[in-house]
């Protein structure tokens, strides 16, 4: 699968989740939800693939007294991070074998500095493993996940080709997206 096809697949998955969220209506007052997408300028994806990340699906309750927002889970975004979720997952997973030379190549090709990679790694090893999402979700795996090797150890838990495992991991992580977006801690620089 080519990169643009992969990013288009992630956009389609997000679109399906958005349609479901809109169909369910407002969780606070049962009102109808109107589209109120957020513009995003994502980093880390190649030229030509930015279109798949331009908008973050979001909705606003139509009832004037409510007007609360509803943002569905996403496989493309990890909360308010400026880098695409796939970039945060893959580059952090690769960090287990990152040398200075590889780090320089990652910075050149994906625009991610060694300092940002270290912040992501710290986030996975501290905040992620302490999150309510992870405490509830880790029991879904037959054998314990090596939290010292996150997210690589999570990728290994999903069957299929590398692309399939990555999509499954992003779908798994999508469940935490709304809770991440409410946190004030940022892992991007």
Q: Which three-class secondary structure string do you get for 151-175?
A: CHHHHCCCCCCHHHHHHHHHHHHHC
Listed in sequence order, the residues at least 6 apart from 32 whose beta carbon sits closer than 8 Å to its beta carbon are 25, 26, 61, 62, 63
Whether pTM > 0.85 for this model: the answer is no
Summarize pLDDT for 126-151 with one digit per residue, the tens. 999 999 999 999 989 988 999 999 99
Summarize pLDDT for 4-42 with one digit per residue, the tens. 788 999 999 999 999 999 999 999 999 999 999 989 888
Residues of the chain above pLDDT 70, percent? 87
Q: What are phi and psi of 35, to 5 degrees?
A: -65, 135
User: Which H or E run contains 56?
Assistant: strand 55-56
Pairing mode of beta strands 59-61, 69-70: antiparallel
Position 60 pLDDT exceeds 90 = yes
């Amino acid at each position: 699968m080519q990169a643009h096809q992969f990013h288009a697949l992630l956009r389609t998955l997000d679109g399906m989740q958005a349609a479901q969220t809109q169909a369910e209506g407002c969780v606070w007052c049962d009102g109808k939800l109107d589209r109120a997408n957020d513009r995003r300028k994502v980093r880390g994806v190649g030229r030509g693939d930015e279109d798949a990340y331009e908008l973050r699906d979001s909705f606003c309750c139509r009832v004037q007294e409510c007007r609360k927002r509803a943002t569905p889970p996403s496989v493309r975004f990890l909360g308010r991070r400026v880098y695409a979720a796939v970039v945060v997952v893959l580059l952090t997973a690769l960090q287990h074998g990152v040398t200075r030379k590889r780090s320089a190549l990652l910075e050149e090709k994906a625009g991610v500095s060694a300092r940002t990679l270290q912040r992501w790694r710290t986030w996975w090893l501290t905040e992620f493993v302490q999150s309510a999402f992870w405490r509830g979700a880790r029991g879904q795996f037959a054998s314990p996940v090596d939290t010292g090797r996150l997210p690589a150890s999570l990728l290994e838990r999903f069957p299929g080709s590398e692309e399939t495992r990555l999509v499954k991991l992003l779908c798994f992580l999508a469940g935490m997206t709304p809770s991440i977006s409410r946190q004030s801690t940022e892992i991007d620089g």
